[in-house]
Structure formats: C-alpha cells, structure tokens
Chains A and B, each alone.
Chain A
C-alpha cells in the first residue's frame, strides 16, 4: 500500500497525480474464509480491520450488497460525541471517541475529525435541569461535559434567535468540547483501505441471500456470487439485519424508520460548533464546504424505503428557522433519508444470536456513526474469541429477557 503523507502528496503533485493506485483491491470471493462480515458500512468495515489488526485474522471476506459506505454510513450527518447517560453507554461511546481521536494516524487516512464542540441547547428551566443532569452524569462517568448559561451559549452560536419574543429563546445548555464531526466517506474508505492492505477481501455488489446452518452451527452464507464458507459470521447490516437474522431463525427487537438529512447551499463560515436544540429537536453544523448539514427526528412511519416524508421535513426545517431566523434565506441543495434500525431502549445490540458462530452488531438507530470504531472493535473481539468484550456484554440481546435495558432515550434523551 502506498502510504499517504505530505511528501507523497507533493511528489504526486509534481508528477501530475498519475501515480496513485486504488485505495483497496476489488476482490472476488474465494470459497472459504476464517470469518465473514456482512455489510460494508462503517461497522462492518471496522470489524474487518480490527479482526486483522487486533487478532491477526486476515482471511476475512467483507460482503457488501451495493458499494461500501452507501448505507447509513454515507447518509449520516456525522456528529461524533460521547455525552450519554448510563455508564455502559459512556464506556462504549467514549471508547469510540478515543479511537476516533487517533484514527487518521492509525489508518493513514485523514478522517477529518474536527472536535469543534457540541452544544445541547435548552430554552426552559426544566430543560436546563435536564442539561444539568446530563452534565453531572458525564462528569461522573469521567467524560468532559459542562453546563453553561445563555450568555456563554450564545457566544458560541451568535446567530441564535435572540428576539425577546422568540418562542425557543436559548437559556444555555450542556457542552462537550471533544464532540464534533468527521468525514463519513473517509471513515468507510480509510477502514477499507487499511483492511484490504492486511489481506481482507472487500467484495462489493455481493448480496447475502441466505445463512447456511448445519447442526446448529453457522457454516457460511449464500450470495448472488455463490456460496461462501466460514464458521464465523458477523452481521452489521443496519436496517437489513432483521431480515438477515431471520434467515438464522433469530428475531430482533428492531423497528426500521427513515431518518432524513438536509444540506443547504454553501455559505461563508457562520457556525463553528455542532448545535442540537432540545426544544425543536433540530440539529445543525456547517461543513468544511460551507453547507449547513441539518437533521432532526425520525419519520414516524416504519419503513424499509430510503425516502423521507414531508411532515418530518417540515418539523425539522421549521425548528431550524425558529433557532436561526437568518437561515430562512438559504436554499436547500439536497435532502435524503436512510433506514435506521431502532431498538426500544435506543441502545445497540452486540453479541451472539441463534446458531453458534453467528454474531450481531446492529440497532445503532439514529446514532451509530460516532460508534463505528467501537462497534468494529467489539464485533471483531466476538468473532475472534467467541466471547464478549466487557464493554459489549451489557449490550447483548439477552438484556431484554433479563430486564436490563439501557434506556438512553429516557436517560440522555438521545437524538444522534
């Protein structure tokens, strides 16, 4: 693999950029592997990478139905943070954030992590109490979090609506400095390139159509490119996971919903933080190109179609204009949706399921981009050792029968 560096960039610049080679090999499936990972989103790609890097398991096939990063990983609004409520969640999301902090160096691929800070803003005394509770929980969990008042908050987002008559006038909020954004495609491509370099076969346009189970053990998968054998299979297919798991007679506590995002025309820098407003449910950041990247709540109709509906659009955008009246002048450039896999307690499902050798990493719902390095790390651990890492243990499917839910919707009021 050709290493990327300032020197290689300069040299290539002088040679007219003719010496670059593809970042990962276009592989065709062999008939046998040590492990198969289904789904070429961030979680699947990170799993393949950590299988090779942490466990020395390199005979790995990563099977992706379309192109890598074409699912939710390439459709998300890239907010990265670890301001959760329960210790189990903080252990998980802060592992991810710590891995993100070193990821560009680790992968030799610039994932453009920008820890510009994130404000969860409140507009009522009750919401300020919620923010204080989140800040306290974060500090108790050993994560950076701080409560701030209106003046400090408005300093960080000066265009916020400050009309005394404003319906959602900002009262302050909770701040996480280490939160921010990263480049979603780069995360997918960086993991793919580094995994491929260690021998992982990244196989695109390959749809898994069945799981092969013999005598209670997984023995491989059926695909539209033929049968591929392995005695360990990891599923990381977001909204498609329930359908895949059903092929192994596994039911999941998942409903699929569409989640939308919006991008405005590019403008000069005017918002250098990530802002989530509790009152409107809308959140926004400005990309390096100058576009506003806008998101909000789910469409409330369960669906497998990657399209958003109009009522959710109206809610998100009217919320944005309440927060920033000046944005009314902007034109929207693009709007899209991804199918997110939502679990009743808004926490992921990581662990074994059904036939021996089958493992899941799904249920990330609206917030799994920030978790990609950890999700991959933990699924790789499961595939390699057959046992939970201590951080993934609480997220096992058995928590539903044990009544040990990790209810982040109630705890942190998670959005994304």
Chain B
C-alpha cells in the first residue's frame, strides 16, 4: 500500500485517492467560439508523461482536489499542494 498525502488531511492510504487529470489544462472559453478540435483536446487528450508528472488528484474522503507532483515510473511523490486559490 502506497501512502499519499492530502494537503488538507495528511498521509492516507492510496485507496482514498482518485487521479483526476493532468495539471495545467485550461478550459477553452467561450464555448461558442471553441472549435471541436480544441474542445476534444481539452476533454480527452493528454501527454501521459513517462517520469516526472504534475497531476490533479482528489482525496475522496474529504472531497478536495489538489496538485500532486510525482514520478510515473517509480511512483515516488515529490510534492503535494492545494489548487491555486484554494490554500488554507
């Protein structure tokens, strides 16, 4: 069992967490001016990086989304942080 750290609740078992998305995606706005390709890119397409990755996860137990920086090969976590604007 791997232990991840929720920035709000502290260290918990990996089973309490869900991967949500790769970090850094920006929702294209406004919707009426967004092309199908840009919308599909936002919704579905990823980099699936091998090695260092910045991702959004959710701690299902408390419901908070947060940023996790980890290595997708070794699975070592180097940093967790609240989403921008969601600190404290």
Number of A-B residue pairs at CB separation under 8 A: 65
Chain B residues bordering chain A, tally (CB within 8 A) = 26
Q: Contacts A401-B37, A402-B36 hold; do A301 and B2 have CB atoms under 8 A apart? A: yes
Name A's interface SS. mixed
Binding-face segment, A6-14, A181-189, A222-230, A251-259: A251-259
The reply to whether B55 and A302 contact each other, CB–CB distance below 8 Å, is: yes
Is B15's CB within 8 Å of the partner chain A? yes
The reply to whether A305 and B2 contact each other, CB–CB distance below 8 Å, is: no
Which residues of B, 36-51, contact A by the 8 Å Cβ criterion? 36-37, 39-41, 43-48, 50-51
Q: How far is the CA of A252 from the CA of B51 in the complex (A)?
A: 17
Minimum Cβ distance to chain A for residue B60 (Å):
11
Determine the interface band of chain A, counting residues with CB < 8 A from chain B. Answer: 20 to 34
Q: Contacts A301-B2, A304-B73, A305-B74 hold; do A253 and B45 have CB atoms under 8 A apart? A: yes
Residue of B nearest to A309 (CB): B2
Give a binary string over A177-211; 1 marks a CB under 8 Å from any B CB, 0 the rest: 00000000000000000000000000000000000
Q: Contacts A301-B19, A309-B2, A401-B37 hold; do A255 and B50 have CB atoms under 8 A apart? A: no
Is B78's CB within 8 Å of the partner chain A? no
The reply to whether A302 and B19 contact each other, CB–CB distance below 8 Å, is: yes
The reply to whether B14 and A255 contact each other, CB–CB distance below 8 Å, is: no
Is B27's CB within 8 Å of the partner chain A? no
Give a binary string over B6-38; 1 marks a CB under 8 Å from any A CB, 0 the rest: 000000011100110000000000000000110
Minimum Cβ distance to chain A for residue B34 (Å):
11
Residue of A nearest to B57 (CB): A301
Minimum Cβ distance to chain B for residue A127 (Å):
24
Q: How far is the CA of A311 from the CA of B73 in the complex (A)?
A: 18
The reply to whether B75 and A246 contact each other, CB–CB distance below 8 Å, is: no
The reply to whether B44 and A246 contact each other, CB–CB distance below 8 Å, is: no
Minimum Cβ distance to chain A for residue B44 (Å):
4
Is B72's CB within 8 Å of the partner chain A? yes
Which of B19, B39, B40, B75 is A300 in contact with, Cβ under 8 Å?
B19
Which of A254, A303, A310 is B73 in contact with, Cβ under 8 Å?
A303
Is A400's CB within 8 Å of the partner chain B? yes
Which of B14, B39, B44, B50 is A243 in contact with, Cβ under 8 Å?
B50
Name B's interface SS. mixed
Which residues of A, 293-310, contact B by the 8 Å Cβ criterion? 300-305, 309-310
Given the complex, which residues of A lie within 8 Å of B45, measured CB to CB?
A: 251-253, 400
Minimum Cβ distance to chain B for residue A312 (Å):
10
Q: How far is the CA of A311 from the CA of B46 in the complex (A)?
A: 26
Is A242's CB within 8 Å of the partner chain B? yes
Minimum Cβ distance to chain B for residue A406 (Å):
13
A256, A301, A305: residue with the most chain B Cβ atoms closer than 10 Å: A301
Is A344's CB within 8 Å of the partner chain B? yes
Given the complex, which residues of B lie within 8 Å of A344, measured CB to CB?
A: 44
The reply to whether A253 and B1 contact each other, CB–CB distance below 8 Å, is: no
**CB<8 Å pairs between A and B, sample of 15:** A242-B48, A251-B41, A251-B46, A252-B45, A253-B44, A253-B45, A301-B19, A302-B48, A304-B50, A305-B73, A311-B1, A311-B13, A400-B40, A401-B40, A403-B36
Instruction: List 7 other contacts, CB 8 Å, given A252-B48, A305-B75.
Output: A242-B48, A251-B47, A252-B45, A300-B19, A304-B72, A304-B73, A305-B74
Binding site for A on B (CB under 8 A): 1-2, 13-15, 18-19, 36-37, 39-41, 43-48, 50-51, 53, 55, 72-75
Counting from the closest, the 5 A-B pairs by CB-CB distance are: A253-B44, A401-B40, A242-B48, A400-B40, A401-B36
